[in-house]
A and B are shown apart, each in its own frame.
Chain A
Amino acid sequence: MRFKVSLLQKTRQTFQAVQRLQSTATTAAQQYTWADPARRHYKFWNRETDVTGQYSYLIGISPESLQREARIVALGSDEADEALHQGPLPLGASLLGVGTTVEELQQNVDKTSPNVLFVSPNCPHAATVLPQVLQAFPSIEWVHCRSAGIDFIESEELVQLYTHRLQSPKPLQITNAKGQFSSSLAEYALMACAYFAKNLPLLLQKQQERSWHKYNVEELRHKTMGIVGYGDIGRAVAKLATVYGMRVIALRRHPFLSRDDPYCNVVYGRDQESLHQLMRESDYIVCSAPSTVETRGMVSAEAFQHMKPNAVFINLGRGPVIDETALQNALREGKLKGAALDVFVEEPLSTDSPWWDTPHVLISPHNMDQTATFMHEATEFFLRENLPRFLCGEDLLNPVDPVLGY
C-alpha cells in the first residue's frame, strides 16, 4: 500500500525534516556508533548471521527475567501473521485485538491499555491511521513494523508525535524488519549483474531464432560495483560482490561507519559530488536506499548523466529514490547497457505504464524478496526476537527514526 502525500504537505514535511536533521547531524557520531556492524552493541539484526532466540529461550528457562508485560494490538493482518494470532506468545505477552481503523481497535480491545503496536504493510491508509491509533491509545510505547520499509507509515503527524514523546518519560520506540530480506535481494542483484554481463537478452533472442551465435561474454570479476544506500541489503550485496572479485564502492550517510568494512573498498558520503563520482566509476550500480525526504529523487537525471556508457543500473530499494523518466530516456537512448528494477514509483504498474515498453530493462513486480515464507519469518522475528527483548527490559533491535525515514 502506498500512501500518496499531497505536494504541499510533502514540501512542508521536507522543510521541517531538513531543519531537524541539521540539528541532529552534530551528534551523529555519538548517536550512531552502535550502527557499525563491527561494534559489539550493534543494534541491527541480520537473518543470516545473527544468533536467534536468545531471549525467548531466557524467558522460557527463567521467568524472573520478565520485567514487564506486553499488551499487543495489531494494525492490519494477513495469513503471514498467523503466528501472532494463534500463538503461543511468550510468557507475559498477550494479543488484545486486531483492526484496520481506530474504531475497530477501540471496539475489539478491552479495558486493558495496550503498550505494543504491531503494524502490517497490508493495512490500508496506514499513514493516516497510525497517528490516530497512537493518539487514541497513548499507552503504546513501542511500534513494530513488519516490513523493512517504513515509507508507508511515514507522515508529518507521526514525526510530530514521535518528537513530542521524545521529551516525555515514555518515549515512543519504533522498530522494523531490517535485515530480514537482505540475502534474497543480494541474490537478485548479482543475478541481474550476470544477466547483462553474459548478455542474456541476446542469448534468449538467438535461442528463439534457433541461431547458434557465439559471442563474447563479460566477467563480473574485477568490475566495479557501486552501492547507493549501504544498509543491510547493500552490505549483503557487497558481500557477494566481494566473493565474485568485484571492487565495491559504498555510499551512505555516515561513511565512517563502514570505514573498516571488509566488503567495500571505498566509502563515499551522500553529497551530490560523491554520488556522481560513484556513477562515473561503477560498471554496476545497485540502489538499495530507503525512500526518505533526503533520498527521494536522489538519483537524478544529472546523476544518470555521469554513468559509464555500458553501466547497468539496478534498483531494489524504492522507486521514488530515482528519477524514473530520466532512466527511461537513458535506456531508450542507449546511454547505459541496461537496468533491472524491482521497485517503482507506481506499484502495481498499470498496463499503460511506459516501463513495459522501455528497452533493455528487466522488470519484476516487487517480488524479488518474496519467498513463500518471508513475511511469516518477519512475524517470527517480532515474536522470537524483539518481543522477548521488550519483555526482559532489554534494548530493542532495529530501531528506526521517523525523522530520518529509516
Chain B
Amino acid sequence: MSRTTVDHSLFWNREISSKLSYDANAPIVKEAKIISLSDVNDPSNGPLNNPTNDLPQGSRLLAVGGSIDDFDVELLKREGANTIFVSHPLARDPLDRLLQEIPSIEWIHSRSAGMDFVASPTLTSFQGKVTNAKGLYSSTLAEYTMMACSYFAKDLPRLLKNKGFKNWEKYNVLELRGSTLGIVGYGDIGRAAARLAVAYGMKVIALRRRPVPDDLCSVVYGNDKESLNRLFAECDYILCAAPLTAETNGMIGKEQFDAAKSGAVFINVGRGPIVDEDALVEALKDGRLKGAGLDVFATEPLSKSSPLWELDNVLLSPHNMDQTATFTYESTSFFVEENLPRFVRGLPLLNPVDASAGY
C-alpha cells in the first residue's frame, strides 16, 4: 500500500525542527471549532481542555468527552465543528460516529504517533486532513533501542544473575561497534535510532518502501518479503519501528526468525501485531533469537499467562519506553502551539498522515 500523498517537508521532529516557524503575520482565514475526544481527567490534555492562557486566536473549543454520549452531536453539527483532537484510548467508535454525523469535520489530529487505535473504514476514506504526533517520541525510543542492544551485547542477564550468586565470573562481552543494525520501518523513530547507531560505529540497514539512499544507512532495501528475510539474515540487531497498517500486520513471523543470523536480537517499539507473537516465543525458546527487547505487544496489557514473562532472554517493558513525565503534555502543546495556528491561517499542517495508508 503506497503512501504517496504526504509532503515529507512537513514532518516535525522534537529534537531537530524549529519551533513556531509558521508565519504569524499571515491573516487568519477561518475559525477552528474543536471537538476534544479525550480523557477529561488527564492533565496531559490540559493545554487544550484546560488552558491557562487562551487558545490561539481563531480557535474555539466546543466540547470535551470520551464517548459519543458525552457529545450533543446535533449541536456540534449546527455549530459547524471542523476539528477533532483525538487522544482517548477508546476513541475508535466515537470518532467513527462523529465523522459520519458531522460533515463539516475537515481535520483530525491524533495526540499519539500511532493511528491504529482509531483506524476504521470511515477514517480510511476520510477526505480531510489527518495529522499526528510523529517525531515527538523518537529520541527517547532511540535511547531505549541502544540500551536494549547493549543489554544483550554485555550480557546483562548473566551479570545480574551472577550478582545474586556472588559470583565473580569474568566473561567476554560483545561490542556494538562493527555490528549491524537492521531497521524495519525507517520513519522518524528508525532514523533517530540510526543516528545513535552510527555514532556507536554500527552499520545500519534500513527497510523502506522505496529504497532511497540515506546518509545514515549503509544499505537500504525495499519492503518486499525477500528483502525482509535478507535483513534478518544480515543483522545482529533488528529494530521494528513500523506503524501498524494492513500491510505490516503479521509481517514478521516464523519465516523471518528462521532466516535470522545466529545471535540475532529483536527489538520492537512499533506495534505488537506486526509480529506473530507465538512464533516469536518459539524463536526465543529454541535460540534462533538470542534475545528480544519488547515494548509493545499484540494485546496490552500483556496477559499474565503469556510465556514472554518468564523467558530470561526477554527485556519486557509495559509500552512505557517513550513515556516521560511530560511527553503527552508536550504532544497536546504541539497541537495547540504548532498546528492550530497553522490551520486558522490556512497554512500547511505539520505531520500529515495518509489516512488511506494508515500512517
Contacts and interface: CB of A to CB of B under 8 A. Distances in A.
Interface of A: 48, 183-184, 187-188, 190-191, 194-195, 197-198, 200, 203-204, 206-207, 210, 212-221, 239-240, 243-245, 347-349, 351, 356, 362-372
A233 to B, nearest CB: 14
A187 B159 contact: no
B8 interface: no
B77 interface: no
30 contacts: A183-B175, A184-B177, A190-B150, A194-B147, A198-B143, A198-B147, A203-B317, A204-B160, A207-B316, A212-B301, A216-B320, A217-B320, A218-B324, A219-B324, A239-B199, A244-B196, A347-B168, A349-B168, A356-B166, A365-B162, A365-B168, A365-B169, A366-B170, A367-B170, A367-B171, A368-B154, A368-B173, A371-B172, A371-B174, A372-B172
A204 B312 CA distance: 10
Contact of A216 (B156, B175, B314, B325): B325
Interface of B: 15, 139-140, 143-144, 146-147, 150-151, 153-154, 156, 159-160, 162-163, 166, 168-177, 195-196, 199-201, 300-302, 304, 309-310, 314-325
A41 to B, nearest CB: 26
A342 B356 CA distance: 52
B150 A194 contact: yes
A60 B158 CA distance: 45
CB-CB nearest 4 A-B residue pairs = A191-B150, A194-B147, A212-B301, A243-B199
Given A207-B309, A213-B318, A184 B163 contact: no
Contacts of A372: 172
B15 A221 contact: yes
Contacts of A363: 159, 163
Contact of A187 (B15, B177, B320): B177
A51 B154 CA distance: 28
Contacts of A366: 170
Contacts of A348: 168
A257 B172 CA distance: 34
A206 B199 CA distance: 32
Max chain B C-beta neighbours (<10 A), residue from A190, A351, A369: A190
A211 to B, nearest CB: 9
Given A216-B324, A217-B140, A356-B166, A183 B172 contact: no
B150 A187 contact: yes
Contacts of A347: 168
B163 A356 contact: yes
A216 B325 CA distance: 6
A184 B139 contact: no
B140 to A, nearest CB: 5
A376 B195 CA distance: 31
A370 B50 CA distance: 55
Max chain B C-beta neighbours (<10 A), residue from A48, A195, A367: A367
Given A194-B147, A348-B168, A184 B324 contact: no
B173 A244 contact: no
Contacts of A184: 173, 175, 177
B315 to A, nearest CB: 8
Contacts of B171: 365, 367, 370
A48 B177 contact: yes
Given A187-B153, A212-B301, A365 B170 contact: yes
Nearest to B177: A183
A203 B172 CA distance: 25
DSSP class of B's interface residues: helix, strand, loop or mixed? loop
A367 B317 CA distance: 27
Given A191-B150, A243-B199, A219 B172 contact: no
A379 B317 CA distance: 42
A384 B195 CA distance: 33
A220 B143 contact: yes
B349 to A, nearest CB: 26
A221 B143 contact: yes
A312 B339 CA distance: 38
Contacts of B139: 219, 221, 245
B33 to A, nearest CB: 34
B101 to A, nearest CB: 34
B143 A197 contact: yes
A195 B149 CA distance: 12
B323 A244 contact: no
Given A183-B177, A243-B195, A367-B172, 9 more contacts: A187-B177, A198-B321, A203-B316, A212-B318, A217-B324, A218-B324, A349-B168, A365-B169, A367-B171
Given A216-B320, A243-B196, A365-B170, A190 B146 contact: yes
B173 A370 contact: yes
A140 B332 CA distance: 71
Contact of A351 (B144, B166, B170, B199): B166
A120 B150 CA distance: 29
Nearest to A349: B168
Nearest to B300: A212
Contacts of A48: 177, 201
A195 B147 CA distance: 7
A303 B23 CA distance: 51
A240 B301 contact: no
Contacts of A349: 166, 168
Contacts of B321: 198, 217
A153 B173 CA distance: 26
Nearest to A352: B166
B154 A191 contact: yes
B39 to A, nearest CB: 15
A366 B162 CA distance: 13
B131 to A, nearest CB: 24
Contacts of B302: 212
Contacts of A221: 15, 139-140, 143
Contacts of B201: 48, 183
A151 B318 CA distance: 45
B147 A187 contact: no
B17 to A, nearest CB: 14
Contacts of B195: 243
Nearest to A48: B201
A236 B154 CA distance: 18
Contacts of A220: 143
Nearest to A47: B177
B309 A364 contact: no
A362 B150 CA distance: 14
